[in-house]
Amino acid sequence: MATRPALAPRFGRLKRRFATLATATALGLLLSPAQADDRALREALDAARQQQWSRIDAAAIDGHVLEGYVEYHRLKARLPAAEPAEVLAFIERHQDSPLAGWMRNQAIGQYGEAGLPGRLLAVSAGAPEGTERQCYYYAALLDRDPEEATRGGLTLWHAGRSQPDACDPLFSALRARGVIGDGETWERLMLAWKAGESGLAGYLGRQLGSDWQPALDAYERVRGDYAAIADVAPRLGDHPATPGLVSAAMHGLTRADTATALDTWQRLAPRLTLGDERRQGIERDLAFYSLVREIPANRAWVDATLPRLATGDLLELRVRVALGEQDWRGVRDWIALMPDDTRGDSRWQYWQGRALAQLGDPQGAQAAYARAAEGRSFFAFAAADRLDRPYALSEERHHYSEAQRREVAQWPVVRRTEALRRIDEPGLANSEWLGAVASADGETARRLADYAASQGWHAELVQTTIAGRMWDALAWRFPAAYRDSFRRWGADAGVDAYLLMAIARRESAYNPHALSPAGARGLMQLMPGTATLVSRRLGIADPGPYGVLEPELNIRLGSAYIGEMLERYSGNRLAAAAAYNAGPGRVDRWLRDAPREFDLFVESIPFRETRAYVQAIMTYRVIFESLANGGESRGIALLSASEANGRYDTSLLARQ
C-alpha cells in the first residue's frame, strides 16, 4: 500500500506516453524514444521562453538531459520573489553548465533592481560581469565592505560615457559619503570631453561648485580651440583642474594637429606639474601620431623620447618606419631597444637578421634568422627559407581510443551539447561546450577536442583549441574541413585548395553561419554584393544574403573570387590575399609606392588587420599542406619563386 502513491505518477506518465505514441502511430509519424523526448523538450522550452507554463508537459520531459533549461526559465520568471536558497540550489545543481552563471546574473540583476541588497549578496560570488550588475553589487556592498564598494564604484564612475540608470543609487551614495566630490566630477568631465560626450560633460559641469568656475571657463575656451591650452593652462596655474585639462586638451590637439601639438607641449611641459603618468600619456600620444602620420619635423623629438618611453608598440612602429625608409642601421638599433618579449618574436628576429645582413654582418644575420626560424609564423618560415631548412611546425599529437570516446560521450556536458544540437539550439550548444573547455584541466580539454574531431564538429573543434590554448595541436587547430569541396571548386577556379582552406580557416574558423559586423557571410566571409557579382560572372542565380551561407555555394563563390584576385595580380598570392581582405582598389594603390621585395611589401601594408591577415593566410596554407603530408614540411614552400624574388610594384597588375 505504501508504494501506490509513488507508482501513481509513473503510471500516469506511462499512460500519457502511450497515448502520444498511439497518436503518432495513427499519423504514420512514429518517433524513436529519443526523438519523442527531444520534441517534448523543444516544445517545453519554447513554452517556457514565453512563460506559457500550461503548455509544458512536465512528465514528458522528466529526466531529460536538458530539463534544467526549462527549470531555468521557470525560476527566472519568479525573480525577485524567489528566495536566494532556491537560486543557490539551482546553481549547485547546474554548476557544470552555463545555466549556473546565467541564473546568478539574473538573480543579481533582479534583486538589485528590486532594492534587495541582502538577497543580492546572498547569491553573489564576488563582483559580477556587466556594468549594471556591478553597480547593483557595489551599492549592496556599501555597508558590508565600504572599502571594496568604494574602489569598485570609483572604477565605474571613471567612464567617459553615460552609465546605466542602475548606477545612479551607487553614485549618489558615494557623493553623500564624500567619495565623489568636485575633483572626481572634473576627472569624469575630462573623460567625457575626450570621448566626445558633450551632453554628459555639460551635466557634470553643472555639478561643480563655484570654486571650479575658473576651470569651467578655461574648459570652454579650450573646447573650441585646443591650441589655446598653451595660454590657458599657465593662467589656471596650480588649480586641481589643470592636470586633467592639459591631458585632455593635448589629446585632442595631438589628434587634430600633431605638429602644433608637439610645439605646444614643448612650451608647456617645463612649466607644469602633471605627474609621470599624465606626462607619459601625452608623450605616447605625440610619438604615436608623429610616426603614423610621418611628420618629419617631429622625428628628432620622437627619436630622443622613445628610449625613455620604451614601450613595445611604439618601438614596433618605429622599426616599421625605418623599414619603409630602408634605414637598416635604424632597424637594428630600434629592435635592440625593444622589451625582451617583443624583441624575441620571430618577426623582429627576422628583421634583425635582414638588417645585419644589409650592414655586412652575415654571421650575426644567420644567428638572428636561426632564432626567428624556431617559431611557427610567416616570418619564421621566411627565416627558415633563408637558412634553407624545413619549417619548425612543433606539432603535438594526441591519440584516444574509441572506448575513451564512448566514455566522453556520456559526460553530462557532451550529452547536453548533443541534445541542444538535435533541437536546433546551436548557440546554447556552443555555450555549453566552450564553457566546459574553459573550466577544464588540460587533459579534459584535450579529450573534448578529440571528441569534437571525431564528430566532425569543425567550428567547435577550432574554438576548443583556442579556449584550451592548444597552440601546438595542429591537426585539431587546422582540421581538413570541407576538403572535398575546396578541392572541387579550387580546381574549377584554378586555385590551390590549401590556400582556400587557409582563407576559410582565417575568415570564419569554419563556422558556416559566421556573420561579420560589416555583413560578410559564411565560411569564406563573402559580402552579399560580392556574392551577387561573382554569381553573375559564373552564370548562376544570385544566392541572396541567406543563400550565400550554404557551405558548398559559399566555397564555390569564394574560390571564384580569390581566383579573380590571383588573375588580377599575376598569380601573386600575397597581393591577392591582401585584396581579398582589404579590396583590390587599395592594393592597387599600395603597389604604386610599395617596396620591391616581398617581406618589405608585407610589412609596408598600412592596415594592421590586412598585414596580419596576409601573414596568417600564407602560414596556414603551409600548415594545411604539411598536415596533408603527414606533418612533414620538407618540400613545402611558403612562397613560390616568383613571389619570393619578384618585384612588388604595379608590374604585378595583369589588368591595368
Catalytic residue among 283, 507, 603, 625: 507
Residue that is written with C-alpha cell 564598494 in the block? 149
The Cα–Cα gap between 547 and 283 comes to 51
**What DSSP string runs through 583-641?**
-HHHHHHHHHS--SSHHHHHHH-S-HHHHHHHHHHHHHHHHHHHHHTTT--TT--SS-H
Q: Return the closest-CA partner of residue 106 out of 93, 123, 92, 122.
A: 123
The Cα–Cα gap between 476 and 458 comes to 9
- 2: which DSSP letter? T
The Cα–Cα gap between 115 and 96 comes to 30
43 is catalytic: no
The cell for 86 is: 532556491
**What DSSP string runs through 386-422?**
HHT-------------HHHHHHHHTSHHHHHHHHHHH
3-state percent helix, strand, coil for the chain, nearest multiple of 5: 70, 0, 30
- For residues 304 and 318, the answer to whether their CB atoms sit within 8 Å is no
The Cα–Cα gap between 653 and 463 comes to 38
By CB atoms closer than 10 A (0-12, 13-18, 19+), residue 257 is middle
Beta bridge mates, 521: 515, 526
- How far the first Cα of the chain sits from its last, in Å, is 94
- Phi/psi of residue 526, each to 5°? -90, 135
Residues annotated as catalytic are 507
